[in-house]
Structure 1
Amino acid sequence: MRRIGIKVLSTALALIMGITICCPLTGVAATGQKKESDMSKYLTAHVNKEALTKRDSDYAGKIRTQKGFQYVISKGKATIVGYTGTATKLTVPKKLGKKPVSGIGIGAFAWNSNLKSVTLPDSVTTIEGSAFAGCENMTKITLGKKVKNIGDCAFYYTGLTSFTMPDSVTKLGREAFLSTFALRKITLSKNLKEIPDSAFENSALTSVKLPSGVTTLAYKAFYNCGSLATINVKNIKKVSGMALKETRWFSKQGDNVYVGTTFVGTNGNPEGVVIKKGTTKIADYACEGTKVYWDDSIGDVRRVYSRISKVVIPNTVKSIGEAAFYDNPIKKLTVPSSVTNIGPLAFGFMKFWQEDLEHDYYYFHDQALKELNVSEDAGYNEEVANLAWKYYNQYRDEEFAKAGALEYANWDGTPTVVMRLEKSYGYCVHTEDFELHGKSGSAAEAFAIQNGLKFVAE
């Protein structure tokens, strides 16, 4: 069993369920949603610390206040950057400082527990990242008719129950509605092209009508929307294997699940998979291997190991996505010569679980995980937590992860982050005795050479 370098690991996005890009998730069970612990409110990942620092630097001495609204003026337009008022029903003015309000800035209203409803004027064209993140009592927001961009995590962990997106919106940020647990109804802009990473993950949506222009469902776009029973996917050309998993729609599709000619995964925990002829793509994370989730019944993280040991790929398949068969006990796999592209960690790799290691604590430094001795009473340090998320956002390294919040952090003057990883953590290793079969000179042989796997020419 051989450990793989961190450079390889950093290509594997979200191989362990638990931490997402903008915000930590303390366990969303496969069978339903579980709200986050109070610990998450102390972590500022949902409000990008680096971006806020830069903003504060850029706006130093420029911030004005009017009726509780903090704003700056640039190029004849006002951007709201904060709010000190206590209103529960808030109507944002059309003008501040006699200038039209064109933007809601980064984290402007983040974690405001007073807000229950918000109305934005038509002058607003941009809602920046984390603008309303954590407004868990905000059940309603009305956007103006000219909003073009909705930033990353803009409505993360809010209390919204429904949302109407004006057709002026052309770009939706990643994790825009992540963990908006009460969100049951969404009307999307007809000018969207993509539903990005984790955009509606962990919501209560029951039905989604995708505009005809949407052709891409990215990683975890609707993941763990347990009540989502209907969604039109006929126009989807690019889809992640994780986009629709843990939804009612997915569970109704039979043993093998397809979106168009793309194989996106399986239901149940089969021992083998035979992909139907005519399939042209195998999606990334199609058969993601061991599932890690929080189980309330035992008050701990639970793992369900994959049993897939045999996969039959037809000669119509042209591409195999990233981590498509990662962490599955496959010993032998034949890849047809029709395949011209194979993503990182597609097969031949497994997880080596944390209980086989001596220590619970590791630190993240220069993209590497190393052991670090630290007492359990090391305490929580916000500066280190912020740094942790800075590194995580930059490198998206899922080996720096657990199924709960960051528990311990210790600052020693160096860019060091201490994580208690517990049972959700696993190293990436080569699958023992794995053989990759294919034609000489094929993409399969190139993949084997690049990743140090045994190749058998047929």
Structure 2
Amino acid sequence: MKKLLAIMLTLVMAISIIAISPTASGATIYKANNFEYIKLGGNKARVTAYIGKNTTVVVPSKLDNNTVTEIGNNILRYNRNVKSILFPNSVKKFVQLPLYGAKKLEKVTIGKGIKKIPNCFFEDCKALKNYTIPSHIESIGIGVFPDTLQSLTVGKSLKKFDEIPTLNNRNLKEFKVSRNNKYFSSRDGVLYNKNKTKIVAYPNGKKTTQIAIPKKVNTIGELSFAYQRYLKKVTFSKNVKKIEKMAFLNCEKLSSINIPINITTINRMAFAGCKSVSKLTINSNKKLSIGYGAFSELNKLKSLQVPVVKGNNVFSECKNLNYIYIPSNVKTIYAYEFVDCPKLKTVTIPKTVKRIGKNSLGYCHGEYYEPEYVKVKGFTIRGYKGSAGEKYAKQNGFKFVKIS
């Protein structure tokens, strides 16, 4: 999770740096028809600024007999009152952030020369409430839309989102999809794949507190419910098999999680950061695979029946977890599985556990002036003589209480 936040911070810093330099250094700037531009060679031009006063702007396909093929950074910096802008079909490339600072922009028409809307394209367009992706657009970059967007309509040619649009759009209430699109569909404002077997994105602005996953769905997509603000309960149908990575990341009001026996894959950090979860039930079958940090940072969780897992850090940073029951089908406790669970003071290890991984029990991350990992004060293992529990206790200097 910290890595994800670091990437987002780096992107924000990059945007700030880019926005400072609107034109290429040393290039000669020409003026024509209320536009500034530079020549690119071969009778091609890049628009660098609109210098007119109109609130409706039509970028011409030619300036002084030079075909406009590129749009530069921050082109509306001299007129922040523009509400509508049209880019011609001749434009093949948006160089950087062309609409940076255009906070009053309500309508943007992108010509057919563009097949992908680039990263952060509408990020600063705070007046944009609804947007229909043009029918010729095939893919969408990262952080494209402003957080004010409320409705997004997917055009017929769109194949791919580089990033699920709900991540940066806390007010998005609904997705709509062109009936001619071959890759996506929608139902009740939720974005699915075409045949509705996979949930792609659940709008962060949708205020429903409960959802029953439709029976046809077998996969909950990556980041599909991430940062959802209103959802308190999710009921999985009998056909769901897979929950992809970070699917429910930081769902702040989700209060309980019940994993039915039909689910066989829970990928890394699937429910990480769901800090309101106080009850977790995992009805695991023999095929269940639970990935790295899948249930980390469940800060209200106090007790747990431990399932079979196949990843590290699965229940790390559950700050209030104070009791775990390990059933006989659990053979391995993986590395760092319960690291940073400071209230987990005593753990009973059954004979059936054959392996306990590094720092899996009884450790927390140290402060900046301490070692990387420090022991939980008073941590005790209860177990059987000669067992993996006794071995782990001796290797780590923990108190061991023998069960007779």
- Within the candidate set 116, 119, 131, 2:86 is matched to 119
- Deviation for aligned residue 1:350: 5.0
In the alignment, is the contact (CA less than 8 A) between 1:285 and 1:326 conserved in 2? no
Q: Please list the CA deviations of residues 69-121 of structure 1 after superposition, one character each: whole Å capped at 9, or x if unmatched.
A: 23333353323233333220010111234332223233333695311111111
Is 2:31 the counterpart of 1:65? yes
Distance 1:144 1:222 in 2: 29
Q: Please list the CA deviations of residues 297-345 of structure 1 after superposition, one character each: whole Å capped at 9, or x if unmatched.
A: xxxxxxxx442466555443334255643243356563425x3x55xx6
Is 2:259 the counterpart of 1:275? yes
The residue identity in structure 2 corresponding to 1:135 is A
- Deviation for aligned residue 1:22: 5.3
Q: Aligned with 1:11: secondary structure?
A: helix
- Deviation for aligned residue 1:10: 3.7
Q: Which has the higher contact order (CA 8 A, sep 6+)?
A: 1
- Within the candidate set 318, 328, 333, 2:289 is matched to 318
Q: Please list the CA deviations of residues 341-381 of structure 1 after superposition, one character each: whole Å capped at 9, or x if unmatched.
A: 55xx64312579xxxxxxxxxxxxxxxxxxxxxxxxxxxxx
Residues 363-374 of structure 1 aligned to structure 2 (within 5 Å): none
- Within the candidate set 198, 204, 223, 1:240 is matched to 223
In the alignment, is the contact (CA less than 8 A) between 2:137 and 2:158 conserved in 1? yes
Residues 132-143 of structure 1 aligned to structure 2 (within 5 Å): 132-143=99-110
In the alignment, is the contact (CA less than 8 A) between 1:309 and 1:330 conserved in 2? no
In structure 2, what is the equivalent of residue 177 of structure 1? 145
- Deviation for aligned residue 1:59: 3.2
In structure 2, what is the equivalent of residue 160 of structure 1? 128
| TM-score normalized by the length of structure 1 | 0.55
Distance 2:90 2:212 in 1: 35
- Within the candidate set 164, 183, 192, 1:213 is matched to 183
Change (3 A) 1:256 1:129: farther
Change (3 A) 1:268 1:114: closer
Residues 52-91 of structure 1 aligned to structure 2 (within 5 Å): 52=19, 56=23, 58-74=24-40, 76=42, 77-91=44-58
Distance 2:182 2:213 in 1: 12
Q: Aligned with 1:239: secondary structure?
A: coil
Distance 2:35 2:237 in 1: 49
Distance 1:286 1:348 in 2: 13
Distance 1:102 1:149 in 2: 15
In structure 1, what is the equivalent of residue 397 of structure 2? none
The residue identity in structure 2 corresponding to 1:239 is E
The residue identity in structure 2 corresponding to 1:190 is S
Is 2:62 the counterpart of 1:92? no
Q: Aligned with 1:72: secondary structure?
A: strand
In structure 2, what is the equivalent of residue 406 of structure 1? none
Count of residue pairs brought into register by the alignment: 321
- Deviation for aligned residue 1:50: 3.0
Percent of aligned pairs with the same amino acid: 18
In structure 2, what is the equivalent of residue 194 of structure 1? 161
Residues 2-17 of structure 1 aligned to structure 2 (within 5 Å): 10-11=2-3, 13=5
The residue identity in structure 1 corresponding to 2:161 is E
Structure 2: state its 5+ residue gaps.
Answer: 185-191, 194-199, 321-338, 366-372, 390-404
In the alignment, is the contact (CA less than 8 A) between 2:171 and 2:204 conserved in 1? yes
In the alignment, is the contact (CA less than 8 A) between 2:212 and 2:235 conserved in 1? no
Change (3 A) 1:185 1:149: closer
The residue identity in structure 2 corresponding to 1:325 is S
Change (3 A) 1:164 1:141: same
The residue identity in structure 2 corresponding to 1:213 is Y
- Within the candidate set 251, 254, 261, 2:241 is matched to 261
Structure 1: state its 5+ residue gaps.
Answer: 1-8, 24-44, 292-304, 353-428
Distance 2:36 2:359 in 1: 54
In the alignment, is the contact (CA less than 8 A) between 2:171 and 2:205 conserved in 1? yes
Q: Please list the CA deviations of residues 258-308 of structure 1 after superposition, one character each: whole Å capped at 9, or x if unmatched.
A: 9953344489653x53311222333555434466xxxxxxxxxxxxx4424
Larger Rg: 2
Bigger shift: residues 92-101 or 186-195:
186-195
Is 2:70 the counterpart of 1:103? yes
In the alignment, is the contact (CA less than 8 A) between 2:260 and 2:282 conserved in 1? no
Q: Please list the CA deviations of residues 170-215 of structure 1 after superposition, one character each: whole Å capped at 9, or x if unmatched.
A: 331211113134x434233524223515466134443433844368
| TM-score normalized by the length of structure 2 | 0.61
In structure 2, what is the equivalent of residue 408 of structure 1? none
Distance 2:239 2:31 in 1: 51
Distance 1:230 1:90 in 2: 46
Is 2:341 the counterpart of 1:431? yes
Distance 2:238 2:67 in 1: 48
In the alignment, is the contact (CA less than 8 A) between 2:269 and 2:294 conserved in 1? yes
